[in-house]
């Protein structure tokens, strides 16, 4: 018997990849909720789901997770077995100027979904969190047991709040919740506001790229195929009522090295516009994935030296398609 799954944010980067994977399995009835907001071009999201719309196992609903009445309609008669909650207002820097919007979407929206999971007796709730919850963490690598009480952006604070809500609903109502702390995900369909995509576009167009700080900040960049492995395992996880997992590559790359790898893959030199460090940015992210390896069987395999050329191939092909259309 096919299982019913709700994927919020399923028209986005990570969400559309998850839909691809589940449709290929042929064992799911998939409902996607996405408001197609203008944080980046809605046309990109429409393109992400274009190949899904005619599939008999797929249903798309344009709705905002802040709208509890609209969500209640989605749940009516659906009998969801699993919710994968990926929808969020994303981005650290924009959250500094729009904290109210981030709170309403990321906290109230998550609460709306947890309440509906409770009333409709949904057994499994997977929540997309973020490495940003660690703040400026001096202990490397970051472990799920580290304290996350010092976030340095409203975005990070909303993700930490979402994790706490998930724990509360697990404790009070027996909903199994799995929080996934994503570490800088990249690959085909990556959001255009994220550094790798933004840098590739600017380098390719011979435009300057803004490098914040001296280029020594480090990130744990995680390829989309590896993230999918972890997300898919979390859907079936049933060994405890509540867990948090880091999903990263468990290696770090300097910003200067990232730019150099992009230059080599694109065959062009970057024009660097040096800027001071920005409020809300952290100097380093680095995932300890021991727990995810042990409990999810998570095993990332794509190093940055291999992942960036794959991304650039997609980026150049996508640009070519757009130019000819």
Catalytic residues: 155
Sequence-distant (6+) residues with CB within 8 A of 290 are 143
- Report whether 155 contacts 102 (CB < 8 A): yes
Positions of E strands within the chain: 3-8, 28-34, 58-62, 82-85, 124-130, 176-182, 185-186, 208-212, 218-219, 222-223, 242-247, 253-254, 271-275
Strand partners, 5: 30, 82
Do 17 and 228 contact (CB within 8 A), yes or no? yes
Contact (CB, 8 A) for 304 and 254? no
**Full DSSP string of 200-260:** HHHHHTT-EEEEESSS--EE--EEHHHHHHHHHHHHH--SSSEEEEEES-S--EEHHHHHH
Whether omega for the bond prior to residue 141 falls within 30 degrees of 0, making it cis, is yes
Looking at the DSSP bridge assignments, the partners of residue 284 are: 218
| CA dihedral for 165, 16, 218, 242, sign (positive or negative) | positive
Burial of 78 (0-12, 13-18, 19+ CB in 10 A): middle
Which sign does the torsion angle of CA 214, 256, 258, 216 carry?
negative
Of 185, 192, 182, the closest CA to residue 47 belongs to 192
């Amino acid at each position: 018997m096919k299982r019913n799954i709700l994927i919020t944010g399923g028209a986005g980067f990570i969400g559309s990849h998850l839909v691809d994977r589940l449709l290929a399995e042929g064992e799911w009835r998939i409902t996607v909720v996405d408001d197609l907001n203008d944080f980046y071009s809605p046309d990109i999201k429409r393109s992400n789901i274009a190949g899904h719309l005619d599939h008999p196992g797929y249903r798309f609903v344009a709705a905002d997770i802040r709208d509890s009445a609209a969500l209640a309609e989605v749940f009516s008669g659906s009998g969801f077995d699993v919710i994968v909650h990926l929808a969020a207002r994303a981005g650290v820097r924009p959250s500094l100027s729009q904290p109210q919007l981030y709170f309403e979407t990321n906290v109230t929206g998550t609460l709306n979904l947890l309440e509906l999971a409770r009333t409709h007796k949904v057994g499994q709730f997977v929540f997309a969190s973020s490495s940003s919850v660690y703040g400026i963490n001096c202990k490397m690598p970051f472990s799920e047991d580290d304290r996350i009480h010092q976030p340095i952006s409203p975005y990070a604070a909303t993700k930490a709040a979402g994790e706490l809500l998930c724990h509360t609903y697990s404790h009070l109502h027996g909903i199994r919740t799995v929080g996934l702390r994503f570490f800088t995900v990249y690959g085909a369909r990556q959001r255009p506001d994220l550094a790798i995509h933004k840098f590739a576009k600017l380098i390719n167009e011979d435009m300057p790229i803004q490098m914040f700080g001296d280029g020594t900040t480090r990130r744990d960049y995680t390829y989309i195929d590896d993230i999918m492995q972890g997300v898919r395992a979390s859907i079936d996880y049933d060994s405890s009522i509540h867990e948090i997992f880091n999903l990263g590559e468990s290696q770090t790359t300097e910003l200067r090295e990232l730019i150099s790898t992009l230059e080599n893959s694109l065959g062009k030199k970057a024009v660097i516009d040096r800027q001071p460090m920005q409020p809300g940015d952290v100097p380093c992210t680095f995932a300890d994935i021991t727990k995810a390896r042990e409990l999810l069987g998570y095993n990332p395999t794509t190093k940055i030296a291999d992942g960036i050329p794959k991304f650039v191939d997609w980026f150049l092909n996508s640009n070519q398609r757009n130019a000819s259309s």
